[in-house]
């Protein structure tokens, strides 16, 4: 296994764990801020460190198109490129191909699509998704899946599930072969060689041969250190979810993701599908619920035993002037905050709440100032990361049930308790 995962405490289905990655340990349950284009929008990496983020997600689709995975590889991989020394996870690119790209054509081999940026033709196969993610060099990479659309009847969901399983097997195969090659080469050359090829400084003086050597070394390094996660599909059908989970687990991945949720279904159905899937994932491996969710949801799913989650909500909402607080969600642009000298969240210790007022944040937002998005995003990330910290603490102390009931009553009392959804 490329990834060691130790479970340190349990409370019901929930657990506190420790993911050991080549770029440091990650305490779980963990919320991963989304750094789509190798940046969490508006936030410097030093601020993310200060917030205590241990693991970021970056999007393979975006980075493959711009600046290009070969460019990132030549610059020493994604960690070095974005100057982030802690852990990284990349998705397979599949989700964005299905949601952003134009003129998609799905075949057994993979997906042909046109870039949303310039219309250029691209092809993403399981092997290509692996190649790109290996060039990027994140600590955790994802198998290519087909994200089943919602709604999808049982036949369509089954078809999609089977394709995802075949693609997953091809990704697993690439990873196995390369692990073997990498391991063999490392034995021949000693373990430290690969790392020493990471380029330092500018590129002007490098010859083509140097470049080739470096790329090969970097690729080998990636092969042998990247953990590969499989993805469970099955639409909104509990029986298919179970089957997908069991057959994915049978392939032996380093961790397992629940995909195909948060695609427009009612949240009750999301919860049902998660509950139908989790029991069929091995307890000793990390479980990753993709693209979820609100603060309430990340708490609930962590309580059910999910170890990893990611979502654009805290960052996207921040850019739109929505703040998650201990008193519910607030819309900072409302006139009632114009002369409110109090902190955004009176119970938050983040650098934004410690220094700035609601009145100032409202002014920045209304005046169209860039600092509005920066400060709102910083606070929202602090709120999400603090929430997960509190969940881990409650699991360790064994009072998760108490924490949950307190958290539910506090947040559900707000008229905006479930952000991003219609009141209905």
Select the span of 19-27, 325-333, 362-370, 402-410 touching a second copy (CB under 8 A). Answer: 362-370
- The answer to the question of residue 357 lying near a second copy (CB under 8 A) is yes
Report the Cα–Cα distance between both ends of the chain, in Å, rounded.
45
268 CB-near residues (< 8 Å, 6+ apart): none
- The CA-atom distances, in angstroms, between 125 and each of 4, 67, 107, 211 are 28, 20, 9, 26
Annotated catalytic residue, options 91, 139, 145, 307: 91
> Going residue by residue from 83 to 122, which x/- string records binding to a second copy, judged by CB under 8 A?
x---------------------------------------
Alpha carbons 150 and 166: distance in angstroms, whole number: 21
Q: Give how far the C-alpha of residue 3 lies from the chain's centroid of Cα atoms, to the nearest Å.
A: 16
- The nearest distance, CB 250 to a second copy, in angstroms, is 40
Annotated catalytic residue, options 139, 145, 307, 310: 310
- Looking at 3, 5, 30, 74, which residue binds a second copy (CB under 8 A)? 74
Alpha carbons 42 and 331: distance in angstroms, whole number: 19
- The answer to the question of residue 333 lying near a second copy (CB under 8 A) is no
Question: With CB under 8 A, what is the number of residues at the site for a second copy?
Answer: 48
- Looking at 373, 379, 381, 382, which residue binds a second copy (CB under 8 A)? 373
Select the span of 80-88, 108-116, 129-137, 324-332 touching a second copy (CB under 8 A). Answer: 80-88
91 included as an active-site residue = yes
Comparison of 150 and 356: residue with beta carbon closer to a second copy: 356
Q: Render 15-45 in DSSP notation, one character per residue.
A: EEEEEEETTEEEEESEEE-B-TTSS-TT--H
- The CA-atom distances, in angstroms, between 6 and each of 19, 25, 87, 171, 285 are 7, 11, 16, 25, 9
Residue corresponding to tokens 């969940």 = 391
* HSE-up of residue 398 (Cα within 13 Å, Cβ side): 0
Alpha carbons 182 and 168: distance in angstroms, whole number: 21
Structure tokens at 36: 């789509």
139 included as an active-site residue = no
- The nearest distance, CB 124 to a second copy, in angstroms, is 20
Comparison of 70 and 149: residue with beta carbon closer to a second copy: 70
> Going residue by residue from 30 to 69, which x/- string records binding to a second copy, judged by CB under 8 A?
-------xxx-xxxxxx---------------x---xx--
Comparison of 277 and 376: residue with beta carbon closer to a second copy: 376
Residue corresponding to tokens 């770029």 = 23
Structure tokens at 106: 């799905």
Kind plus residue range of the DSSP H or E element containing 110: none
- The answer to the question of residue 351 lying near a second copy (CB under 8 A) is yes
Give the residue numbers marked as catalytic: 91, 310
Binding interface with a second copy (CB under 8 A): 37-39, 41-46, 62, 66-67, 71, 74-76, 80-83, 199-204, 338-342, 351, 355-357, 359-360, 362-364, 366-367, 369-371, 373-375
């Amino acid at each position: 296994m490329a990834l060691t995962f130790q479970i340190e405490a349990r409370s019901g289905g929930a657990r506190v764990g420790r993911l050991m990655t080549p770029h440091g340990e990650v305490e779980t349950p963990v919320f991963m801020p989304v750094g789509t284009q190798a940046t969490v929008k508006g936030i410097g990496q030093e601020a993310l460190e200060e917030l205590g983020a241990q693991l970021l997600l970056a999007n393979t689709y975006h980075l493959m198109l711009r600046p290009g995975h070969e460019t990132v590889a030549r610059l020493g991989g994604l960690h070095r490129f974005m100057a982030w020394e802690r852990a990284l996870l990349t998705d397979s690119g599949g989700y964005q191909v299905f949601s952003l790209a134009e003129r998609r054509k799905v075949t057994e081999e993979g997906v042909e699509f046109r870039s949303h940026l310039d219309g250029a033709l691209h092809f993403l196969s399981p092997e290509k998704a692996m190649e790109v993610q290996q060039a990027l060099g994140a600590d955790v990479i994802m198998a290519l899946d087909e994200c089943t659309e919602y709604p999808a009847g049982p036949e369509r969901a089954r078809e999609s599930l089977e394709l995802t399983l075949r693609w997953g097997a091809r990704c697993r195969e690439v990873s196995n072969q390369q692990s073997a090659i990498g391991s063999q080469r490392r034995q021949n050359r000693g373990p430290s060689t690969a790392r020493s090829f990471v380029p330092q400084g500018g590129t002007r003086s490098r010859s083509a041969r140097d470049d080739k050597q470096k790329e090969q070394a970097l690729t080998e390094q990636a092969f042998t250190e990247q953990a590969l996660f499989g993805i469970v599909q099955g639409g909104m059908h509990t029986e298919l979810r179970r089957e997908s989970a069991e057959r994915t687990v049978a392939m032996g991945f380093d961790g397992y993701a629940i995909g195909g949720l948060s695609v427009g279904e009612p949240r009750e159905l999301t919860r049902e599908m998660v509950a139908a899937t989790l029991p069929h994932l091995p307890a000793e491996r990390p479980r990753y619920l993709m693209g979820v969710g609100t603060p309430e949801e990340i708490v609930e799913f962590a309580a059910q035993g999910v170890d990893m989650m990611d979502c654009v909500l805290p960052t996207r909402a921040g850019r739109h002037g929505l703040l998650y607080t201990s008193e519910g969600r607030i819309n900072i642009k409302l006139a009632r905050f114009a002369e409110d000298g109090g902190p955004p969240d009176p119970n938050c210790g983040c650098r934004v709440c410690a220094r700035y007022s609601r009145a100032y944040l409202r002014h920045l937002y209304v005046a169209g100032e860039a600092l509005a998005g920066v400060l709102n995003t910083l606070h929202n990330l602090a709120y999400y990361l603090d929430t997960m910290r509190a969940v881990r603490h409650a699991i360790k102390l064994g009072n998760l049930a108490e924490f949950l009931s307190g958290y539910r009553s506090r947040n559900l009392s707000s008229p905006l308790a479930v952000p991003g959804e219609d009141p209905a």
